[in-house]
Amino acid sequence: MHSSDLTQRNIDAIAELFPTVVTETVDTEGNPVRAVDFDALRQELSDHLVEGPQERYQLDWPGKRAAAFAANAPIAKTLRPVREESVDFDTTKNLFIEGDNLDALKLLQESYLGKVKLIYIDPPYNTGNDFVYEDDFAESSADYLARSAQRSNTGDRLVANMEANGRFHSDWLSMMYSRLKLARSLLTDDGVMIVAIDDHEHANLRSMLDQVIGPDNFLASVVWQGSGKNDARFTSGGIDYMLIYARTKSKLIEADVRFKAPKRGYEDVMAAAQRCWAESGGDSVRATELLRAWWRSKPDVEPGLAAYSDIDADGKVFTRDNLRSPNPRENLMYDVPHPRTGQPVKRHPNGWVYAKARMQALIGEGRILFGDDHTTTPRLKRFLSDMSTQAIRPLVLQERAPASDALARLLGAKYFDYPKDTGVLATWINAATSDDKKAIVLDFFAGSGSTAHAVMNLNAADQGNRRFILVQLGEELDPGSLARKRGYATLADVARERLRRAGAQVKEQAGLLGFDLDVGFRSLHVATTNMADTFTTADDLVQFALAEAVASVKPDRTDEDLLFQVLLDWGLDLAEPVAVEEIGARRVLSVADDALIACFADEVTDAVVKEIASRHPLRAVFLDAGFASDAARINTEQIFREVSPGTEVRAI
């Protein structure tokens, strides 16, 4: 009986755009209500640090505002392709990006905004011994833009974060906050984010994710029990966690998304039942006796499977389930006649679990098991074959040693102490992407590359086409480490080698089914912009310097470098196929069957322009310096207006 609450509607709209600015307060009657943190909103809309702390319910730490600013500040950087580090560069849909993940996440915003189905990250744990990223962005947007464009060595971005540091927690939280804010925007509406963490920052990380993604989107806190220490003082430890959030939980509920996993021991029970059926000669009574005897040996399977101890005349394993409704409803209160006596059978006070039409259908299928007469309550015949999966368990029991040993065998040496188990990762990747086997999976703390390895294994298992994007800093390895002695300079080098070997192994094991498997990756490096620095003003230019000021592209950059910067600027998929050809003796790059044609030749003729326009590409791009004069560039635009008016033309 009231008009719409426009204030609340506006808060909802702001929450969708900026979930980190929505907090709690109390109304005039002391009831908790949602409200907007205007200081935080000002920061989201500002290009400089905003002061003005006020009391509110939220996780706070020194440097939080600077971290929020770091997420929003622009950078003058690009991604450079490196063919020699790649596998199947021309055909693969997978990406491996070497560089600072904060820069990488910013560069991916246009091309992959709202397109990533699953983000899994295993960030550095804040144990007092590891390194964190140093993000010192307490400066204006202009200052940051100038500075970031000139920093080419990303290795100096890691600093030790010892417990003696007064900002022990703050530095780690700041490092994570800016990256999580950027990562959220890459998720699809039904996307999921999984973050691995240990006890040191579990509570803080969950509070931060509540702010960044929203507490209503929390799905689970999974406990991963690995190997413990028997000489520990209180508990054996060995616990890690996975905090799981949905981009929009309501979207998952609307689509009836359910995280499922295979039941442990399901295949063992089915195999035992088949042996019992064969040994009994097709006698259901004898087969049931044999199966129940097998169950008494207590095999290691899910407890819920133990109820499936009967075998019917068709050799199917089943259990007898109850038919009572958990809650009484009028449409569930009806009589069911016994097939032999014709009298209504005994019914639970709550009624049946199924409506009358569904019950009649089950009776017709022989799925309702009646007693000798109407004085007993019938049971539901539930087949084991319909119960091969279960709701995924929030407890993982998996030692880390097998994963470490498997990776050591693959690489020929033990370079990593605690790599993630690809089987466990594949289980959760499958749970989040089972409805979309072409999903993009992102890991921007790639480490040894376990996430990509798990994606390849999963695709081989279910013939999926999931894609991965990995981001890993080119962190230099310790000079005394085994990997360094074996010729690897950085952690990214080792990860790429792992993907090469894992891809070959997965394809070999898949046999004929692995023919179409994508086990390649495009290697890209975060780098400064391709465009030359032109900070000299016109008044300061002298005659001999004019020639040097003409070139707009750095001398060490290739046409493929320029192409990938154009893909980023236009927001196109960085994994689109690229074809190299010649038109009028000029090298031309065609992306995705002429969705984009690029010609970065030093001299572009009208004949070349006309040939490109005749192919009617969606987009065409040239090097500005490639035109002999302004008139030549204007003439190019006129040619496209006449020959291919639908083409979007640019010059860089």
Do residues 117 and 439 make contact, with C-beta atoms less than 8 angstroms apart?
Answer: yes
- The DSSP string of 287-317 is HHHHHHHHHTT--SS-GGGGG--EE-TTS-E
Low-confidence ranges of the chain (pLDDT < 50): 1-4, 136-141, 144-156, 164-166, 544
pLDDT attached to residue 608: 93
Beta-carbon count within 10 A of 84 CB: 6
d(CA 191, CA 196): 17
CATH classification for the domain delimited by 71-259+392-527, as one of 3.30.56.10, 1.20.120.450, 3.30.300.130, 3.40.50.150: 3.40.50.150
Handedness of CA 141, 146, 149, 153 (dihedral sign): negative
Mapping DSSP to helix (H, G, I), strand (E, B) and coil, where does residue 376 land? coil
Residues in the chain: 652
Residues 161-173 as b or e (16 or more Cβ within 10 Å = b): beeeeeebbbbbb
At which residue do the structure tokens 């005749």 appear? 614
Copy the structure tokens of residue 620.
């065409």
- For residue 358, the Cα-to-chain-centroid distance in whole angstroms is 40
pTM: 0.80
pLDDT at position 56 is 67
User: Which residue is listed with tokens 């600027």?
Assistant: 569
Whether 149 and 528 have beta carbons less than 8 Å apart is answered as yes
Other CB atoms closer than 10 Å to residue 527's CB: what's the count? 21
For CATH 3.40.50.150, list the domain ranges present in the chain: 71-259+392-527
The answer to whether 432 touches 259, Cβ cutoff 8 Å, is yes
CA–CA dist 595, 600 (Å, integer): 17
The pLDDT value recorded for residue 628 is 83
Query: What tokens does 185 get?
Result: 């925007």
Whether 422 contacts 450, CB under 8 Å: yes
Longest dimension (CA), the chain: 111
What is the rounded distance in angstroms from the CA atom of residue 360 to the CA atom of residue 176? 56
The answer to whether residues 329 and 355 touch, using CB atoms and an 8 Å cutoff, is: no
- Parallel/antiparallel/unpaired status of strands 317-321 and 310-311: antiparallel
pLDDT (tens digit per residue) in 343-386: 999 988 889 999 999 999 999 999 999 999 999 999 999 999 88
Strand partners, 527: 78
The Cα 505–Cα 406 span in angstroms is: 12
**3-class secondary structure for 184-219?**
HHHEEEEEEEEEEECCCCHHHHHHHHHHHCCHHHEE
Tell me the CA distances in angstroms from 583 to 73, 331, 498, 622, one per residue in order.
40, 74, 39, 13
SS3 assignment, position 620: strand
Going by C-beta distance under 8 Å and a sequence separation of 6 or more, which residues neighbour residue 319? Answer: 307, 308, 309, 310, 382, 384
CA distance 443 to 101: 10
- Residue environment code for 569-601, b if the CB has 16+ CB neighbours within 10 A, otherwise e: ebebbbbeebeeeebbebebbbbeebebbbbbb
